[in-house]
Copies of this chain bind each other. A is one copy, B any other.
Amino acid sequence: MPNIFSNIPSDVPNEIFEDILNTEKLRVERIVSKGQVSPEAGWYDQEENEWVIVLSGFGEIEYINGDKIILKQGDYLHLKAHEKHRVTETSSDDPTVWLAIFY
């Protein structure tokens, strides 16, 4: 039985992006972060809409207008295509596990 919290290495030198489901209509991705943040100018400007939930740890998202929000366990967020954002903080002790749906 696959589990979203399985197979997380103790060292996460780079963020881990894994497709869980990939169909014509949508893609479900697990992202594991451990202290990583987007580079200063590293705005995500995505072709797809994204719905994302934090399942462990936490993450801070910054929008291009300077607004910041912190997502804790269970918090979820919708990001429209081309809604520029970046990750400004993630959990450095317990990994942050994100579940993202791109469509």
Contact A1 B69 (CB under 8 A): yes
A70-86 vs B, CB cutoff 8 Å, 1 = contact: the mask equals 01111111100000000
A2 to B69, CA, bound (A): 12
A22-36 vs B, CB cutoff 8 Å, 1 = contact: the mask equals 010110100000000
Count of chain A residues near B, Cβ 8 A: 28
Contact B75 A3 (CB under 8 A): yes
Q: Tell me which residues across on chain B come within 8 A of A51, comparing CB atoms.
A: 20-21, 28
Q: Return A22 CB to nearest CB of chain B, in Å.
A: 11
Residues of A participating in the B interface, judged by any CB pair closer than 8 Å: 1-6, 20-21, 23, 25-26, 28, 49, 51, 53, 55, 69, 71-78, 99, 101, 103
